[in-house]
Chains A and B, each alone.
Chain A
């Protein structure tokens, strides 16, 4: 499986080559979220990388508003694109621009969503022969990664080791706290309202980014990823002081060292994220009381008030008419079912009526245990 990482210096390129990698991602301050190099430095690094026979990927992963677009295009034009093999993009506007204005191969970052085959397949077909690779979401579990590797005709890359981006804002959120105009500021954040402490936060010219307190680490699943057909595994050491952990990462996946030894060289804690399973929608049903949610079948309406020993006020909402002598039942907010025979219906002026229709507010005889928000159904 292809392993790739980022380089910011000639030293990084040397380490990448030394460790047997064949690809490198280069970043510029202007086009990449965490870019550190100027475009002239990128030219130099790209030139060196070509001499080392590395495939050179230029990352352009920022999101761009309309009036900034031309400025970013000018930066791209300053880079010697003959030294670049592939351009890596996320903003679909940038994708369109690169497709229309260059001949380069494209790697598309689809990792902020795109959790279905239909969408990924559309990207594959849309970009066609110029698609070099799809970088898919870290929220996809292994069975989905496996399915996509099998069903798509393009190469797939996943993040194998590195920070998990949680939040990307164009606003400068650290400057007001530090009262400093310095472009690049790093901090850590913690909240009493969250059990997670120590979120890395960075502010730079593109805005503010917050990361998970632990990195994603799929190294122990290296063989599994290889077997299911993942083409490339990305290692991201940009929050480390150097690329020194690269060799131990490779030693670990090649079983030359055990995990304890690897941990000694890797400065941050890590998790597997959603690799085994993604159940991030199972808590949704607890977000509201489904017992006060109406069911469509035989629906009559909702109780507005249950006045003890006096009346039940009912707003007729459904399409069914409520008539005298009907058999109905209530589902209370606690989920209790209470049967009831409609002996009398009146309007709010206490005049007897034969039936209530949609939007009418009607009064029924009091029934113990029936409260407001109880849902009312016709018993069949």
Chain B
């Protein structure tokens, strides 16, 4: 029996941290208000960080804090109080990409350091360089195959983390500065404008050939569910889900699917579960581009290019809300995100186990009167369902 890797899920906000942990993630990664790569994400205040760490630790989940921007001198000058706070609240590690930041963190704290994928660590010589600086884990570049990852682990003795699911950079991470020069936003300090998802027309220099309206730089999304056994056999320590900017439904679904699959393996020593098809289907129900296994088995080829405009048509499901309160034996109070009607068939997604389907025969306003249709950003009551907890997500198939 091989060691089962941890499931590491994104936490773009405190709410999403709770979703990730509740739905089975063994660890989450998140950012403070500075120093990360997602300036547009809500991110965490000092108090939220503390609350998030307590919440996760009480449920045996770890918290890694990203400091993975390519920081300038003036940014590094502001690091010290943040590092002190991270040490005080006992986070489990920081994820760093910049040599200066790693050097600074090593000298000014006792925090465990993981190397971010942003550093594009692709080979064991490279990993050895970082090991000498005190790095204990490397998040390998998404160009590395699982076979190569195994070799890197064997040759360096470092812990290995690899992406298993989510959006992918087309460029080597950290080696794209399109936003810097076309939008004035430093992509390596949190300002990526996703220029690789734009539509381009390409004219070839040595011929009359012109390819119009193509999305030639856009990558399909990674989905490594069917290769989980290879992750396990390669000795990967942590499987990472991309997506701090993504929805709670995405965070919860991916955490649950990968966690359920690995728990099944831990119990049975294989992935041939009757639920395998159901897990596949669950991952299709979240918004995604077409899926690819990218370079996990062999180098990503042209089949990994997502030559389509960005739309959310790839999911027939929407999150309609989250359980905000439970009035025992009486009602579930739902915080509505997308409108739904009386008579709709909804699905409650428990933290573990099978989805509970419910035909909604009645909806009530909080004040008690029966209503036919809900509105986003309101609270409503639906019939009580045994075993459903606060923060449970609810989804529904889109009506066509």
- Give chain A's interface residues, CB within 8 Å of chain B: 63-67, 69, 91-97, 112-120, 122-123, 139, 144, 164-178, 185-196, 201, 210, 212, 273, 278-281, 283-284, 287-288, 293-296, 299, 304-305, 307, 310-311, 313, 315, 317-319, 347-350, 359, 361, 363, 372
Please report which residues of chain B, range 207-239, place their CB below 8 angstroms from some CB of chain A when the two chains form the complex: 207, 209, 211, 214, 216-217, 219
Please report which residues of chain B, range 122-137, place their CB below 8 angstroms from some CB of chain A when the two chains form the complex: 122-130
Q: Would you call A348 and B203 a contact (CB within 8 A)?
A: no
Q: Identify A113's interface contact among B98, B103, B304, CB under 8 A.
A: B98
Give the docked Cα–Cα distance between A131 and B200 (Å).
42
Q: Identify B151's interface contact among A66, A187, A299, CB under 8 A.
A: A66
Give the docked Cα–Cα distance between A185 and B330 (Å).
68
Q: Would you call A166 and B181 a contact (CB within 8 A)?
A: yes
Q: Would you call A348 and B191 a contact (CB within 8 A)?
A: no
In the complex formed, the residue of A with least CB distance to B381 is: A348
Q: Are A189 and B202 also in contact (CB < 8 A) when A144-B73, A167-B178 are?
A: yes
Contacts of A187 in B (CB 8 A): 202-205
Please report which residues of chain B, range 33-83, place their CB below 8 angstroms from some CB of chain A when the two chains form the complex: 39-42, 45-48, 51, 70-73, 75-76
Q: Would you call A93 and B299 a contact (CB within 8 A)?
A: no
Give the docked Cα–Cα distance between A287 and B189 (Å).
13
Contacts of A63 in B (CB 8 A): 120, 122, 141, 172, 175
Contacts of A119 in B (CB 8 A): 98-101, 103
Instruction: Identify 8 new A-B residue pairs, CB closer than 8 A, beyond the known A139-B177, A280-B186, A348-B379.
Output: A65-B299, A66-B123, A66-B148, A118-B103, A169-B170, A169-B171, A176-B302, A177-B204
Q: Would you call A283 and B46 a contact (CB within 8 A)?
A: no
Q: Are A164 and B175 also in contact (CB < 8 A) when A294-B45, A304-B324 are?
A: no
Ordered by A's residue number, 6 sampled pairs between the chains whose C-beta atoms are within 8 Å are A92-B129, A167-B175, A168-B171, A191-B200, A307-B367, A348-B379
Q: Would you call A279 and B333 a contact (CB within 8 A)?
A: no
Contacts of B75 in A (CB 8 A): 116
Please report which residues of chain B, range 77-92, place their CB below 8 angstroms from some CB of chain A when the two chains form the complex: none
Give the docked Cα–Cα distance between A176 and B190 (Å).
31
Contacts of B188 in A (CB 8 A): 113
Contacts of A310 in B (CB 8 A): 367
Q: Identify B70's interface contact among A64, A114, A165, A361, CB under 8 A.
A: A114
- Give chain B's interface residues, CB within 8 Å of chain A: 14, 39-42, 45-48, 51, 70-73, 75-76, 97-101, 103-104, 120-130, 141, 143-145, 147-148, 151-152, 170-172, 174-178, 180-186, 188-191, 195-196, 198-207, 209, 211, 214, 216-217, 219, 299-302, 304-305, 307, 324-325, 327, 330, 333, 335, 366-367, 377-379, 381, 390
Q: Would you call A283 and B198 a contact (CB within 8 A)?
A: no
Give the docked Cα–Cα distance between A361 and B183 (Å).
42
Q: Of residues A178, A280, A296, which shows the largest number of chain B Cβ atoms within 10 Å of its Cβ?
A: A280
Contacts of B381 in A (CB 8 A): 348
Q: Would you call A212 and B181 a contact (CB within 8 A)?
A: yes
Give the docked Cα–Cα distance between A69 and B126 (Å).
11
In the complex formed, the residue of B with least CB distance to A147 is: B73
Contacts of A177 in B (CB 8 A): 202, 204, 209, 211, 214, 216
Contacts of A188 in B (CB 8 A): 202-203, 205
Give the docked Cα–Cα distance between A69 and B174 (Å).
20
Give the docked Cα–Cα distance between A188 and B191 (Å).
25
In the complex formed, the residue of B with least CB distance to A371 is: B377
Contacts of B196 in A (CB 8 A): 167
Q: Would you call A273 and B203 a contact (CB within 8 A)?
A: no
Give the docked Cα–Cα distance between A176 and B214 (Å).
10
Give the docked Cα–Cα distance between A123 and B171 (Å).
25
Q: Of residues B39, B141, B190, B366, which shows the largest number of chain A Cβ atoms within 10 Å of its Cβ?
A: B366
